[in-house]
Amino acid sequence: MIRKRFVLGGAGAFVACNAAVGANLPRLAITVESDDSASEAAARRMLNAVTGQILRSGKFTIVDRNRLSTVIKEQGFSNSAYADPKTAAQLGKLVGASRILTITLTIDANTNSGAFVNSAQVDVSASFSLVAVDSGQVLNAGSAQGTGERQASAGGDSSVSGSQLEREGIDACAQDLASQITGN
C-alpha cells in the first residue's frame, strides 16, 4: 500500500513520504520566484498548487520545502541563481533531489469598464525549467497559463474580488504546468 502524509509547517506544506513510496520515484525539488508583478503570497499559492498537482500524479516525490529553503539561505543563492541549470543541479544535489523544477510567476490584472458591462481579468503565467541534477540537462522547459475572469453589468455590484480572480488564475496555471511536467 502506498501512503503519502501531508504535514503543514511554518514555511508551508511539505511532504513526508513513506520510504517505499520514494524508492523508485524521482525526487523533485520545486522553487517558485515571482517577478515584480506577483506577491510572495501568490508565489506560495503557486508552490502549493503545483506541489499538490504533481503529487497527485504519483510520478514524483517532493523534497521537504523547509530543507530547500534552508539550503537556499545557507548557500546564499539569489532568487534567480537557481534558474541556471548548473546552479539548479548544485542546489538539487545539496537537498537530495534528482530533479529540480524552477518556476517564475508573472501576474497581470486588467479591468475594463464599459457602458453596459464591466469586466475584470487576471492573467497568470509561469515560465518553468525542469533540470536533471546529475547532468544539469534541461529535461523540460516552457510556460503555463491561467486566467481568472468575471463580467458584471455596469452599475451592478460585482461580488468577486481581485484576489479571488488571482487565486483562480494561479490554480489554472498550476494545473497547466503540472500536466506538462507529469504528462497527465
Neighbours of 16 (CB within 10 A): 12
Instruction: Report how far apart the first and last C-alpha atoms of the chain are (Å, whole number).
Output: 22
CA 170, 49, 69, 82 torsion-angle sign: negative
Write the pLDDT tens digit of every residue in 20-56: 444 589 999 898 888 877 788 898 899 999 999 999 9
Identify any residues that bridge with 182 across adjacent strands, giving them in sequence order.
none
Nearest Cα to Cα of residue 67 among 22, 19, 131, 14: 14
What's the pTM value of the predicted model, to 2 decimals?
0.75
Write the pLDDT tens digit of every residue in 105-149: 999 988 877 777 778 899 999 999 998 988 888 999 999 999 998
Query: Region 151-168: what's the mean pLDDT?
Result: 74
Give me the helix-helix angle, 65-75 and 85-95, nearest 10°: 120
Q: Does domain 4-182 have CATH number 3.30.1050.10?
A: no
What is the predicted pLDDT for the residue at 117?
77
